[in-house]
Amino acid sequence: MLLMKTIEYSQIDEDKNDGNCVLIDVRSPEEFTNSTIPGAINIPLFDDEERKSIGTTYVQESVEKAKKMGVEAVAKKLPAIYEKINELHKKYKSLVFFCARGGMRSGSIVSLLTALGLRVYKLEGGYKGYRSYINKKLPEVMEEIRFVVIHGNTGMGKTKMLKTLSEQGYDTLDLEGCANHRGSLLGSVGLGEQYSQKQFESLVYESLKKRKSNLVFVEGESKRIGKIIMADFIFSKMVEGKHIRVTGDIDFRVKNITEDYVESGNSELIEALNKLRRYISDKNIDKYISEVEAFNYDWVIKELMVKYYDPMYENNKYDWDLTLEVQSIEEACSKIIQWSRELIDLSVKEAALTVE
């Protein structure tokens, strides 16, 4: 009798993977889209409607009837499923399958593939087990982090600064990227659906576990990023960090905003502007929409920054460890890097004094 092999997520995480292992999510497309393990591939056994129908039968009628429905649903797809899995089997040393709780869906496919001689594992506890691991590990990782927080008015290009710092070898955490939202009321324009809370936390963990040091650059954010609520243990670490304020003239900021928002097209911009009617008069919103339709983007962006975004930002002040006035992303990063080297040297000296 062939025994089904299982593996804990901690083993995968600690092994650093090295590209030899691939995670396969056999849950429905809807479950996968809502949240999954970063990097996982979705090969669903049931589509969304099949999953709901089988689940309802399982709860309201009988387990046996639900199993029969499951077998019938999978049977017609099995050749296509096997073909996809076999292609992955040629590329990776091992395949790890998971479903919601590491139960029937992942167990059944792993049992079948094991019998066919493939190198496959079932993830112990499924996605729920993975979430338990993240809930434990993320606060532990966060305790080690020392943040350098970059602040600046809307349009200063803080996300671009993080990207440039990362490209130059510095550790960064792009919280807006992890949320797929820019943090403002217009923050979803051009980005599509925002990630779920669970996916956000998973992506934060993935980003931090790849760091080369414990000094991490991050953009200043409020506790809420769109619909995401940042955990206290993350937000408090940011508050405790070093704080840099970057300033620049209005034209520089308008240019950055235009690059981020305008290429998405007028329809999304107008939809987003309509959501601001709770905060800005209908008369002004109607004027902004009229100007957008006339492609007068710069004027609308400048008006929103001066009358709406800047006054909001002024209410969010820190005791700045460094203030910079810059004219480009490159200049800002150069000055931040120069300052951070001094911070690293100081940290080394503090560590040496502690040892003594």
Buried b (16+ CB within 10 A) or exposed e, 61-75: eeeeebeebbeebbe
Crossing angle of helices 126-144 and 197-209, rounded to 10°: 50
- Between CA 176 and CA 38 the distance in angstroms is 16
Task: Give all domains of the chain, ordered by start, each with its CATH number.
Answer: 6-133 (3.40.250.10), 145-355 (3.40.50)
Q: Looking at per-residue confidence, does 292 or 184 come out higher?
A: 292
- Between CA 65 and CA 42 the distance in angstroms is 26
Alpha helices in the chain (DSSP H): 9-14, 29-34, 48-60, 63-75, 78-91, 104-115, 126-144, 158-167, 175-179, 197-209, 232-240, 250-261, 266-274, 282-293, 297-304, 310-313, 329-355
- With 70 as the cut, is the pLDDT of residue 186 above it? no
Six-digit token pair at 169? 């070898």
> What is the sign, positive or negative, of the torsion defined by CA atoms of 133, 136, 138, 143?
negative
Q: What 8-state DSSP symbol labels residue 248? A: -
- Between CA 102 and CA 108 the distance in angstroms is 10
pLDDT in tens, 320-353: 999 999 999 999 999 999 998 876 665 545 544 4
- Between CA 267 and CA 254 the distance in angstroms is 20
- The pLDDT, as a whole number, for residue 42 is 97
Residues in CB range of 50: below 8 A, 6 or more apart: 28, 69, 73
* Residues 9 and 129: beta-carbon distance below 8 Å: yes
pLDDT in tens, 92-144: 989 999 999 988 899 999 999 999 989 899 999 999 999 999 999 999 999 99
Please name the amino acid found at residue 121. Y
66-75, 196-205, 301-310 — which is least confidently predicted?
A: 301-310
Which pLDDT band holds residue 192 (cuts at 50, 70, 90)?
A: low
Left, alpha or beta for 18 (phi > 0: left; psi -120 to 50: alpha)? left
